[in-house]
A and B are shown apart, each in its own frame.
Chain A
Amino acid sequence: MQRTTIVPQPIRKGIDVSINGKHFRHTGDPDLPLLWYLRDELRLTGCKYGCDDKSCGACSVLVNGKLKRACAVPMAKLVDADITTVEGLAGPDGSLHPVQQAWVDEDAILCGYCQPGQIMAAVDLLARKPDPGDADIDRIANLCRCGSYPRIRRAIHRAAQILQGKPK
């Protein structure tokens, strides 16, 4: 009788992350920047590529509640991290997050490419400063080539009002 040896599979090494409430395990290159993990592997393309040196902010996401440039965060630093991208802001029924709704209401769009990153930066700001002044808003350094800044500013003020239960 031939004996079969059962060799247990080695535990598959990987980096566990939670993205917009869903669990993923990254088993590839630990140096892979979160930006490309989101875009090329998960096809979460709301996180935009805009530059290589953290200067534009188009790839802004929340990592454990903190605002990060996804282009500069390697997967190795994300073990068990909780990540929110722009795709994860809306409610399960598809209802927009108040910040997203404020952007629509103020028509803060133009080409729109930088807006997911701008929105993530605003979500972060409002979590830290529920009623931000203009000087607080000025600290958002996300770039917009089209010049939508005045509408972004208005949208942030509007979102602040909504989030504080003061309908505008």
Chain B
Amino acid sequence: MSRAHDAGRRRFLKIFGTATGALVVGLPALAWTPDELLGQNLIALNPYLRIEPDGTTVIGARDPEVGQGIRTAEARIIAEELDADWNKVVVAPLDLGVSGVNGEPHWTYGHQTASGSTSVPAAWNDLRTVGAAARQLLLRAAAQRWNTDAASLRTLRGVVIAADGRKLGYGELAEAASKLKPATTRPALKMPSQYLLVGQDAGDVDARDIVSGRQHYAIDEWFGDTRVAVITRCPYPGGKLAHLDDSAALKLKGVDKVMTIPPPDPARTLGTQQLAAGVAVLARDTWTALQAVAKLDVRWQPGSLGAQGDDALAAAAATALAGEPSKAVRSDGDFGEADKHARHHFKAEYRFATVAHADLEPPNALVKVDGQRAIIIAPVQNPRATFDTVQRLTGLAPDKIEIKLPRAGGGFGRFLETDYVAEAVMLAKAAGKPIKLMWTRTDAFAHDTYRPFSIHAMQACADRKRQLTGWSHRIASTSRLAGREPRERWWLSEIHPDDLPAGLVDNLQYAWYALESALPRGTYRASSHGVNAFAMECFLDEVAHGLKQDALKFRLALLGEPRKLPYRGHGGPVLDTGRLSWVLQLAADAVGWSKQRTRGQGFGLACHFTFGGYVAHAIQMSMQGKRLVIHNVVCAADLGRVVNPLGARAALVGATLDAFSTALRQRITVKDGRIVQRGFKDYPLATMAEMPHDVQVILVPSQEDPTGAFAMGFPSAAPALANAVFDATGKRVRQMPIWPELLRLL
């Protein structure tokens, strides 16, 4: 990051800024690129691309990097079409691109978010053109120089080459190219057979800075004259301050101020969600602030709706599931009738604990606000939501709000929220000084936006030929959309009407039942796919076992002949059953599914369609006493064309391990109306010793457009593990966390 910016200041000739900016001015009506993509602001702000006289090619990465490898993937996409020399590419993160048009925000760069594995598909759609348009200009500049026809020229790794073998580097042509009027037609894109970068491995562009400790995350940034703020928050959802004596805290040297954050006002949401009431200490440094917070004499009054633990929610779910659904999501045929006439009946209930994000970088924000301007440096997954929060709190015009997008120490959905940014902005405004807000680990556990608790009532039936004739999946959950969206939309985040086996079973019903909870909830990796796939894939395993069918053959038969089913929602418009069967088959083969099994070795399979990607896991494990040992993990994935296989593998392996870690032992519990967990000691993330040494990743070659990768490896990993546990032990674990339940059953 720093290198790129220094280089820019040192000897930046404004080359493609003008060129690409003008490119779009001539083409506002064309549908092939969003007009915000290459807006004129590019000239003044960060361009996607600039080439310096020495050939250094600076590529701006627009989406927030949270460990999904987007900076690398995005730069590779642009560099590919530019035909750049990757060794000369420097990647610089872009800020949120926003300007004001009649007071309304206008987004300069189009897609700028790290959510739902959408960044790579969006970049594939938008950003190839950026590289290709720049390459066209370089070709024309060379043609002018040599007084020849641009069509007779070609490019290779940062060099334009004439038919007679003469060469000019991009750096030598950049200035001339910047003065050309861009073409008015869409530049031709490369044929896949011409790709030199896309489909090849590339290490993370920030790797060197990270291993050197030079990479700055938001938590590592400072402004001059900054005050560090630490907040002690009301532990009871919706509660308020009952008593405060700050005299001891204020006596500490280096403490500036004690300020209060008001209790939530339902009429006014300050962040993406309600803020907890709090008392903030502003001090010269973190240690002083932490000590002062410990010296606050503070008591809290619980809110009207106390926080409920999972057991209370489970009781509420039992009542809810016995009644009418809040939303009948899907009903094909008649499940009740099918069940009545079926030969085989299956019924089970799955339960998923509330879990926390536990990103290694806790929420934090560095904020500077004066009457003229606001600068925000925070871990951010959804820059527009952050912008919206800052604008509501400051009333500043869009172009006066600067949202920086530093690399974030994780994301997983936590940084889609803006509560910590809202807190910092409020404090900075009131204090009149830049604020560096630090959350402690305990704060992060106590005030997360948790993955919703849910109970899944599963039912299935089969005929005498052991064919599935009916399937019912009913979910009672504390929707994360409650309190954010109108009630009739709450089901949308909890269950997907076209998830399998919809379309494969004649009589099928999906329904959702609302559960109330005072705990804040939010998006968690892979959204509700992370739990729904577990219920679906484990129950399918139960059914296959009950019907004395091989779990692989049963699944393949159910998926049937390859065909495209309609899929509304993220990842659609179609779900190709053939692509899912194929990854399932690949994973099963690689784990040795059909081979002779050794006694005590458990094998498990699962597959899922997530956000357009098809992934299957196959696992071999065994119980060694009271230890669960995972011997072999295969993750087969069809993610369309893979831009950076090294990055995609990292994402899939990481998601697999993260899924194991989350499923095995993680859970948030509530006692006396407040969260029990205070740190990693009572919220155990898996350690190296507990995790498999490797995950064998199989990437299916594909000509389809890329789907992204970060969420996809998550949903099928945990059910494959639970299915393997059943195979090894005969114990069916129908809960997350798996581990305590397995110990109970064994």
Q: How far is the CB of A60 from chain B (nearest CB, A)?
A: 11
Report Cα–Cα, A29/B254, bound state, in Å.
Answer: 11
Residues A150 and B653 in contact in the complex (CB < 8 Å), given A51-B441, A138-B689: yes
Report Cα–Cα, A50/B362, bound state, in Å.
Answer: 7
Report Cα–Cα, A151/B69, bound state, in Å.
Answer: 15
Residue in A44, A46, A53, A104 whose beta carbon sits within 8 Å of that of B207 in the complex: A104
Tell me whether A141 is interfacial, beta carbon within 8 Å.
yes
Q: In the complex, which residues 688-721 of chain B have their Cβ closer than 8 Å to any Cβ of chain A?
A: 688-689, 691-695
Report Cα–Cα, A45/B220, bound state, in Å.
Answer: 6
**Chain A positions within 8 Å of B679 at CB level:** 51-53, 55
User: Looking at chain A, what size class is its interface with the partner chain?
Assistant: 35 or more
Residues A115 and B681 in contact in the complex (CB < 8 Å), given A107-B650, A109-B650, A149-B657: no
Contact B658 A153 (CB under 8 A): no
The chain A residue with its CB closest to the CB of B680 is A55
Residues A112 and B204 in contact in the complex (CB < 8 Å), given A86-B213, A150-B653: yes
Tell me whether A134 is interfacial, beta carbon within 8 Å.
yes
Residues of A contacting B: mostly = loop
The chain A residue with its CB closest to the CB of B364 is A49
**Chain B positions within 8 Å of A100 at CB level:** 211-212
Residues A147 and B687 in contact in the complex (CB < 8 Å), given A55-B679, A112-B204, A116-B210: no
**Chain B positions within 8 Å of A89 at CB level:** 212
What sequence of 0s and 1s flags, for each residue 200-224 of chain B, a beta carbon within 8 Å of any chain A beta carbon? 0001101110111111110110100
Q: How far is the CB of A158 from chain B (nearest CB, A)?
A: 13
Residue in B206, B213, B228, B656 whose beta carbon sits within 8 Å of that of A85 in the complex: B213
Contact A49 B362 (CB under 8 A): yes
**Chain A positions within 8 Å of B359 at CB level:** 111, 145
Report Cα–Cα, A41/B650, bound state, in Å.
Answer: 35
Tell me whether A152 is interfacial, beta carbon within 8 Å.
yes
Report Cα–Cα, A5/B210, bound state, in Å.
Answer: 55
Tell me whether B358 is interfacial, beta carbon within 8 Å.
yes
Residues A113 and B287 in contact in the complex (CB < 8 Å), given A53-B681, A153-B688: no
**Chain A positions within 8 Å of B358 at CB level:** 145
Tell me whether B410 is interfacial, beta carbon within 8 Å.
yes
Report Cα–Cα, A152/B565, bound state, in Å.
Answer: 40
Nearest 10 CB-CB pairings of A with B: A46-B213, A111-B67, A113-B409, A147-B657, A147-B654, A45-B220, A138-B689, A86-B213, A112-B210, A55-B680
Question: Can you name 28 A-B residue pairings with CB atoms under 8 Å?
Answer: A29-B287, A36-B286, A45-B216, A48-B409, A49-B286, A49-B438, A51-B441, A52-B440, A53-B679, A56-B360, A86-B212, A103-B210, A103-B211, A109-B210, A110-B69, A111-B361, A111-B407, A111-B409, A138-B689, A144-B685, A145-B359, A145-B658, A145-B661, A147-B653, A147-B655, A148-B650, A150-B694, A150-B695
Hey, which bits of chain A sit against chain B, CB under 8 A? 29, 32-33, 36, 39-41, 43-53, 55-56, 58, 85-87, 89-90, 96, 100, 103-105, 107, 109-116, 119, 134, 137-153
Known contacts A51-B679, A107-B207, A146-B654; 4 further A-B pairs (Cβ under 8 A): A48-B360, A56-B441, A104-B203, A140-B688
